[in-house]
Amino acid sequence: MQKLNVALFGLGTVGSGVYHIFTQKSKLLAERSGTCVQLVKVLDRSPQKKGKPRVPKRMLAKSPKEILNDRNIQCVIELIGGTTQARQLVKQALNAGKDVITANKALLAEHGEELFRIAKQHGRHIFFEASVAGGVPIIKNVSESLIANRIDTVYGILNGTSNYILSKMSRQGMSFRAALKLAQEKGYAENDPTLDIDGTDAAHKLAILASLVYGKQVPFKNLVYSGINHVSESDIAFADLLGYRIKLLAVAKKVGSSVEARVEPTLLPKDHILASVNGAFNAVYLRGDEIGDMLFYGRGAGSKPTASAVISDVVDWGKCYSGQRSWLPMPSSQKIKVSPISAHQARFYLRFNVTDKPGVLSKIAGVFGKYNVSISDLTQRERQSAPVPLIFLTHHVNETSVLKAVDQISRFKVVRGKPQILRLEE
């Protein structure tokens, strides 16, 4: 059996998991795959740090160059994260004629075009199973198992931190703040949780996934996204009352020759299977013209689950490199049009906190009428303290009209604070 050599950049959470699988399962992997891929070098800023695996001295590289210049290493695994040093490293590796395996969604979403171009120039390849939904093998399923399908719609719960917080708020009535604190204590959220909470991380993953599904680039910079920080406990309670759960949902839909793509907190009917995805789990729901509706569900982060996806890439890379498999085509560099938000027809959940009810309702209704925003449900619950929340669910309506109507209503004196606008999917 031909022996292939890879090097690992980064011994953080995922890197440690990858290192452990290499040390504990190399025999099993060789038996199962018929290839022998060895981890020969590891580079990490602080490999002696407590909790990191004990890497034998001979395997520890002292500099990136030691790996990049080593002609016996055919592939590097980039698990350092971020977009500055990682981008540099991946470029250098490709330029040095090495293939790359990465779990770095920010890097691929923001610089994928450049990196795939460089890879093509050198006839090299980038593997990225672990970059979307962690351990869930969605990249390979879309590329191979669903090959007979044209996929038109993708729904994803792609950020475990946000989903953990929303689940705690929904199931245990926690506040956003308390749930975030718990997520940090449990290791589901970073000290600085911004990229998770504000929707950026999920949008990175959606850009990668949608580009693969539609066979053309869905540029990250064209995505509309927002996070869960503006979802209140009362929104979650009202959604529950109306038969819905709020999830940070990544959505991509093919509409004609363009794509509608966004990430935002969204109401889903309780009996939809995505509404049952709780805690730090991820899920991808998609619709193919042959297969119909499908769901993939699993751990979207964490050391071992993400390492499981990285290792499946290592094995596939080894098969490709040794001629036991043909390389998959690299993503197309063509771009697909992402349709403007105003083109969307959708259903919405609207909350206004108002002080003086009787007169207000007819005024608000009048504005909705003026903008052709048709209402399907109206809920008002007496509260001990003013202001009183007024909740509207709309029928399918034009998004621009809703925004205009809400803007006008928000200027009424009796409306307190910022109105809430959330999308509703069925």
Active site residues: 205
Nearer to a copy of itself (CB atom), residue 319 or residue 344: 319
Nearer to a copy of itself (CB atom), residue 160 or residue 193: 160
Size of the site for a copy of itself (CB under 8 A): 55
**By CB under 8 A, residue 256 contacts a copy of itself:** no
**Of 298, 331, 389, 419, which lies in the binding site for a copy of itself, with binding defined by CB under 8 A?**
298
> Least distance to a copy of itself from the beta carbon of 194, Å?
26
**C-alpha to C-alpha distance for 350 and 399, rounded to whole angstroms:** 12
**By CB under 8 A, residue 273 contacts a copy of itself:** yes
**By CB under 8 A, residue 156 contacts a copy of itself:** no
Pairing verdict, β 75-78 and 3-9: parallel
> Least distance to a copy of itself from the beta carbon of 33, Å?
6
**C-alpha to C-alpha distance for 381 and 356, rounded to whole angstroms:** 14
Nearer to a copy of itself (CB atom), residue 120 or residue 140: 140
Nearer to a copy of itself (CB atom), residue 85 or residue 278: 278
Contact 69, 14 (CB under 8 A): no
> Least distance to a copy of itself from the beta carbon of 326, Å?
4
- Rounded to the nearest 10°, the torsion over CA 263, 228, 383, 404 is -40
Token pair, residue 64, equals 């990136």
**C-alpha to C-alpha distance for 248 and 253, rounded to whole angstroms:** 16
**C-alpha to C-alpha distance for 359 and 356, rounded to whole angstroms:** 7
**By CB under 8 A, residue 187 contacts a copy of itself:** no
Site string for a copy of itself, 124-153 (x = CB under 8 A): -----x-----xxx--xx--xxxxxxx---
**C-alpha to C-alpha distance for 426 and 413, rounded to whole angstroms:** 34
> Least distance to a copy of itself from the beta carbon of 125, Å?
14
**Of 234, 297, 367, 404, which lies in the binding site for a copy of itself, with binding defined by CB under 8 A?**
297
> Least distance to a copy of itself from the beta carbon of 137, Å?
3
**Of 59, 296, 399, 403, which lies in the binding site for a copy of itself, with binding defined by CB under 8 A?**
296
Q: Which amino acid is at 27?
A: K
User: Which residues are within 8 A (CB) of 9 and not within 5 positions of it... i.e. 6 or more apart?
Assistant: 15, 43, 44, 64, 67, 76, 77, 78, 79, 80, 86, 89
Contact 263, 247 (CB under 8 A): no
CA geometry: angle 219, 221, 222, nearest 5 deg: 70
| Coil, helix or strand at residue 265 | strand
Site string for a copy of itself, 10-49 (x = CB under 8 A): -------x---x---x--xx--xxx---------------
Token pair, residue 162, equals 């946000």
**By CB under 8 A, residue 264 contacts a copy of itself:** no
Tell me which residues in 197-226 interact with a copy of itself (CB under 8 A).
Answer: none
**By CB under 8 A, residue 249 contacts a copy of itself:** no
Tell me which residues in 306-335 interact with a copy of itself (CB under 8 A).
Answer: 307-309, 311-312, 315-316, 319, 324-326, 329
**C-alpha to C-alpha distance for 333 and 381, rounded to whole angstroms:** 52
> Least distance to a copy of itself from the beta carbon of 290, Å?
4
Residue 360's φ and ψ, nearest 5 degrees, are -65, -45
Token pair, residue 338, equals 């992402």
Length of the chain: 426
Token pair, residue 13, equals 């959470």
> Least distance to a copy of itself from the beta carbon of 295, Å?
4
**C-alpha to C-alpha distance for 189 and 176, rounded to whole angstroms:** 13
**By CB under 8 A, residue 305 contacts a copy of itself:** yes
**Of 105, 125, 205, 299, which lies in the binding site for a copy of itself, with binding defined by CB under 8 A?**
299
Q: Give the interface with a copy of itself as residue ranges (CB under 8 A).
A: 17, 21, 25, 28-29, 32-34, 129, 135-137, 140-141, 144-150, 271, 273, 275-278, 281, 288-299, 302, 304-305, 307-309, 311-312, 315-316, 319, 324-326, 329
